[in-house]
Each structure stands twice: as C-alpha cells, then as structure tokens.
Structure 1
Amino acid sequence: MNAYNALSDYDLTSLLKEGDKGAFTEIYQRYFRLLYIHAFKRLKDEEEATDVVHDLFEFVWLKREQIDITTKFSSYLYAAVRNRVFTLGLRSDRKIRYLDSLKDFIARGEFITDMMIRERELSVMIEKEINALPPQMKKVFEMSRNQGMSHKDIAEELGTSEHTVRTQVKKSLRILRSKLGIVIYTLYLLGLIKP
C-alpha cells in the first residue's frame, strides 16, 4: 500500500499543484474507472469515453498550477467530464450538419454544373442556327433581338421599310423555331438561354 492512497482529495490536489507525480497517479487510479463509466453512459462508445477521460487527466496535469477547485475534487472531475461530453456532442452535431450541408452543396453543385454545361451547349446550337440565316436576315434579327432595337430604328439604320424588317424578323423566328424545336426556341425567346 502506498502512502498516497490514504490521503484525502484535498491533500492530493495540494500535492498535485506542487507537481507531485505520485499524487497525480493516485488521483488517476482513484477516479479513472468512475469517470470512464460516467462518460460511457452518455457517449455509448468505449473509445470516445476513454479519450474524454484521458484528455481530462492530461488537462489536469498540464494546468495543475492554475486549477482552482472550490468544490470537492470528485465533483470537479465529474462536471469536467460532463462538460467535455457535452462539447464533444456539440462538435459531433456540427460535424454532421456540416457534412450534410457539404453533401447538399456538392449535389447542387453537380446540378448547377450540369445545367451550365447544357445551357452552354444550347447557346452554341442557337448561335450556330442564327449564323446559318441569310446575311441580311441575320443582321436584322440580331439588331432586333440582341441589340433590342425597334423595327422602326432598324429600318432607318438599314434604309429599308418597317414592313421589310418585320417580315425578316418573322421569317428568321420561323426558321429558328423549325431548326431548334419548340422547347429550345421558347427558352431562347424568354431570355433563359442566350446565344
């Protein structure tokens, strides 16, 4: 039997503050198993419970000079384990929420990336069909749709009649609708796809 196991918690903590390794060993042997059971009941995981108690004892040794215990030492240790378990639970919840949000972000990112690729492909297709229009019709169409000019302004700039401009725009829209299909054509007209 060693001399330390006969000492009270108060005496052991006094020796601990002075750096007495024997006192620390006695505290560890006296409380490790009880604190482990206390942690395990809450965590339901042997490894995590062991880690929590070991971390607490490491803290106690490293901060032995600063520890100010105003209650029974055992109460201090139980409260410290409870707080560590609670903190571990919060970290675990945050980690789960973070991982869930990361999964959502990745899923949305894949969706957004897929949509961007499809939009780019459709834009290329629309641009190709616009470029295939006869030169004068293409010019009138681009002035109308891309530059937002009125039929009157286009007619004045090109030195032609409004009727000719209107006819050219109608013909170009009819050609694009037949080449692109109604869905792509509608998306283009709504401004959801830009060439």
Structure 2
Amino acid sequence: MSTIGADPSGSVAESASEDESVELFRVWCRRLRDGDRDALEAVFRNLHYPLVGYTVRFLAPDDAEAAADVVQDAFVRVWEGRHRLDPERSLKALLYQTVRNLALNRSRDARTRASLLAERYEAPVRATPAPDERLEEARMRALMTEWIDALPDRQREALRLSRFDGLDHREIAEVMGCSPRTVNNHLVRALRTIRERFEALQEDETIQ
C-alpha cells in the first residue's frame, strides 16, 4: 500500500470549535462509510501526527518509524472495515483504540517491554531567561515527567489522553475499554497525586 499523504501544516479540525470538530468527524465518518477516499485523506491529515505521538509511547524510544507504520496499519483497517462504521460513535476514539491495540500487539510479538516516552514540557517562550530560571524550568519538567511516569498505568494513560491528546471522557473510555465514570476517577486520582507531590515539594523547600 502506498503511504497516505499527510500535511503537517495544520488541519481543518484544529481551527474549529470543539462542537464543530465533533460534527466534522461525524461527516467524515459517514463519507468514509460510503467509500469516500477524500474523507480518509482528511482524517489522516488531522490525526496522523497526534496518533504517531501517542503510539510511540508504547514502543521503544527509537521506534518512531514503527509507530508511523502502526498508524498507517490502523487507517488501513478502518478503511477495510468502513462499512461497519457508526457516525454516532467517535471516529477519533476508534483510531486511538486501534493504534493502541496494534502497538501493544507489536510489542508482545517482539517480546519487548512496552515503554512510555517521557512527555516534553515546553516552557513558555520568554526573552533570554536567566540561567537559574532555565535550570528551575528544566528541574520542574523532569519532576513532572517523573511524577507522571510513577502513576499507575491506567491513571497515566487517562491523564495523557486527556491533557496531551485532547480526548474527552467518552472518547478515552472507548480507547481504554472502560466507562466515562472510571475515566473520571482515574483523572481525579492522577491529578490529586501530582498535586500532593507538588505540595510536598513546596513544603520541603520551605523547611530548607
């Protein structure tokens, strides 16, 4: 199969409101179900890069190419099963769920341990920050990555899907195979843990 073209410059959905984006994906889903390849291209342009970023978390750090292959395979599967698509269900969640399953299967088949890439927290752009400020920002990014990595698996995945991939509770529930209420519980516990870690850090530094 030839590689589907992707446009890194942006997407239609990115410039739309949340409600408009949801409706846009419904329209694409209907068109996909009817065999419209232009709709497939549109969805690919919108989700290719976020999906690759999500997929690589389940693979080795040097497996970005493998992650792109997994995403490509996911789109092929969705296209081949297009007649079963339901426009009332989230197409975005379906694709995230598909790449998740494919990535985990790939790791198991290769007998490798699934590893999650540390999130990169970009500091706000400021004019020539002082060396001490840069060190503090780097320290906080490292601590935040450490705290997130230390969360239980399900809490960590829910948090990343919500905060970094922009999925809502219902979509996360579809990806993770649980209820929206369970997703909410995971997020509440994850955020509480991170807040407690941060408060403990502040308290320790105040004492010192």
Q: Is the pair's TM-score, using the shorter chain for normalization, greater than 0.5?
A: no
More helix by share: 1
Q: Which has the higher contact order (CA 8 A, sep 6+)?
A: 2
Q: Which of the pair has more CA radius of gyration? A: 1
